[in-house]
């Protein structure tokens, strides 16, 4: 007896995911429908890259994100090698161009040449544009490319983007819009605040406008680049310049998911996610504690805070409280600080800022989870609890992995630089952690490093920016459940 055919069409996805995908995920296994061959999509089709990128965006988004970052760095480096990019009109060396491009896209701020005097206005624009793009984040860039290539985001891509941004799967499209709107809005506010200050310093309007735009992008993206020829030293007592650095760096280092959650539930703070509460609490406590401690350590140092009035010391303490975590924008010379200050800054830089933010490091949530795990173990508690929630064991294991990988990278880079340069450990360790955590503070050794040492820092900045995020996402995606489990036994610890 023949089976009657159904007149119903296949069920289409409903709910928030329908805005991201127009077909079931199984359709990813079918040849993609190229549709109109115009715009970026048409260009990729004509170049024969569409199928390869489409497959990578669906099945290997973490690898694609690394490729995207490397491609952006390559493009910025190529532009910086042009004679038009330097103030002298002569082409910059390859190592200096690559170093500056990596530092910009990885929003670090370490430099081998002076940004204000060596590069032309065109070169400075390329640098800060690279920092603005890099500040958007690895997975965000991969998601944007996936939108352009596939017209929607696949399930794997949504999971990785949601993992980085701590967002529900259906909110990824809204999150991408929020990231761009938040970044542009914050940078515009900072530029509007800084413009009158540059005008009051006697700068003509075009120059003041350029300085304010450049510095606003550098501050919010925690890039650490300074465009003024005299640097930030003349503003050591300038609250008009220092306070925007503190506020802009703080907001940029919190992370886009935190900002988005706070804006959405601004009238219901109790409904903030655990990630938001944990990030705000940990970041705020570390900022306040580091500001007080660093100010105390440098209070009487005649080469930093010693000669300044009390009000200026407080301002610089606030700046040090945030710049040691992410931005690297310091009003006093880091090279002249005490070794005890360097050591504390090493720890602060390694911790870094919030997840999916413009900051680097292992992230404050990783540090908080590790600290809570130690406290729970000391108390004999089986569960790790905070803000009325229980931390999953998988989060603890992931935090341990991220911190251990970061420590190994720092140790290996220190070993290489000590062998290459023969410099003291305190300066090498400071520079290495600053590069890995994409901070940009320096004891002054970066410009004098040999080419091999510069390449070590380049690799460290790249891995520090994209490595921890992609490694965390990859580890999270590889979680597997086993039906058969081995007998449990505890080895001796300690």
CA–CA dist 351, 343 (Å, integer): 13
End-to-end CA distance of the chain: 74
Work out whether the CA dihedral 208, 213, 219, 220 comes out positive or negative: positive
Q: How far is CA 365 from CA 166, 211, 324, 351, 407, in A?
A: 12, 34, 17, 9, 16
pLDDT at 255: 81
CA–CA dist 452, 243 (Å, integer): 38
Yes or no: say if 56 and 64 are a contact pair by the CB < 8 Å rule: yes
Low-confidence ranges of the chain (pLDDT < 50): 1-35, 166-167, 169-170
Tens of pLDDT, residue by residue over 78-131, are: 999 999 999 999 999 999 999 999 999 999 999 999 999 999 999 999 999 999
Question: DSSP characters for 69-135?
Answer: HHHHHHHHHHHHTSGGGBSSSSPPPHHHHHHHHHHHHTT----SS-HHHHB-HHHHHHHHHHHHHHH
Check residue 137 and give left, alpha or beta (phi > 0: left; psi -120 to 50: alpha): left
> Domain residue spans in the chain?
35-477
CA–CA dist 322, 249 (Å, integer): 7
pLDDT at 281: 93
Q: 85-121 burial, b if ≥16 CB within 10 A, otherwise e?
A: bbeeeeebeebbbbbbbbbbbbbbbbbbbebbebbbe
pLDDT at 288: 93
3-state DSSP assignment of residue 186? helix
């Amino acid at each position: 007896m023949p089976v009657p055919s159904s007149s119903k069409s296949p069920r289409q996805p409903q709910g928030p995911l329908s805005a991201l995908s127009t077909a079931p995920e199984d359709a990813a296994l079918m040849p993609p429908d190229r549709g109109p061959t115009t715009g970026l999509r048409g260009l990729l089709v004509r170049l024969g890259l569409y199928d390869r990128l489409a497959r990578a965006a669906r099945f290997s988004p973490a690898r694609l994100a690394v490729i995207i970052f490397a491609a952006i760095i390559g493009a910025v480096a190529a532009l910086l090698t042009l004679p038009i990019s330097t103030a002298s009109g002569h082409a910059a060396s390859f190592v200096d161009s690559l170093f500056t491009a990596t530092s910009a896209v990885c929003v670090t701020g370490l430099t081998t040449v002076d940004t204000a005097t060596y590069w032309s206005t065109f070169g400075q624009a390329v640098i800060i544009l690279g920092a603005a793009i890099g500040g958007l984040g690895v997975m965000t860039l991969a998601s944007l490319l996936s939108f352009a290539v596939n017209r929607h985001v696949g399930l794997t891509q949504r999971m990785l983007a949601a993992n980085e941004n701590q967002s529900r799967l259906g909110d990824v499209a809204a999150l991408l819009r929020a990231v761009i709107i938040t970044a542009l809005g914050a940078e515009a506010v900072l530029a509007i605040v800084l413009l009158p200050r540059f005008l009051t310093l006697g700068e003509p309007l075009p120059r003041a406008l350029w300085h304010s735009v450049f510095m606003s992008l550098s501050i919010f993206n925690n890039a650490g680049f300074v465009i003024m020829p005299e640097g930030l030293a003349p503003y050591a007592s300038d609250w008009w310049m220092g306070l925007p650095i503190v506020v802009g760096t703080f907001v940029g280092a919190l992370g886009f998911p935190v900002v988005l959650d706070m804006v959405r539930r601004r009238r219901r703070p109790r409904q903030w996610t655990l990630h938001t509460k944990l990030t705000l609490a940990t970041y705020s406590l570390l900022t306040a504690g580091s500001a007080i401690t660093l100010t105390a350590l440098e209070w009487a140092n005649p080469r930093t805070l010693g000669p300044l009035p009390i009000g200026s010391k407080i301002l610089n303490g606030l700046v040090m409280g945030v710049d040691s975590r992410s931005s690297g924008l310091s009003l006093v010379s880091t090279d002249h600080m005490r070794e005890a200050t360097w050591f504390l800054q090493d720890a602060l830089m390694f911790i870094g800022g919030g997840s999916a933010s413009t900051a680097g490091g292992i992230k404050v949530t990783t540090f908080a989870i590790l600290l809570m795990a130690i406290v729970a173990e000391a108390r004999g508690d089986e569960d790790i609890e905070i803000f009325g929630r229980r931390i999953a064991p998988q989060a603890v294991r992931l935090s341990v992995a991220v911190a251990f990988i970061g420590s190994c990278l720092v140790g290996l880079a220190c070993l290489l630089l000590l062998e290459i340069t023969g410099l003291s450990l305190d300066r090498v360790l400071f520079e290495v952690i600053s590069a890995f955590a994409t901070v940009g503070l320096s004891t002054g050794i970066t410009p004098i490093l040999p080419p091999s040492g510069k390449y070590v820092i380049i690799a460290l900045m790249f891995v520090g920016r994209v490595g921890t995020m992609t490694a965390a996402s990859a580890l999270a995606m590889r979680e597997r459940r086993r039906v058969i489990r081995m007998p449990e036994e505890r080895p001796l610890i300690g």
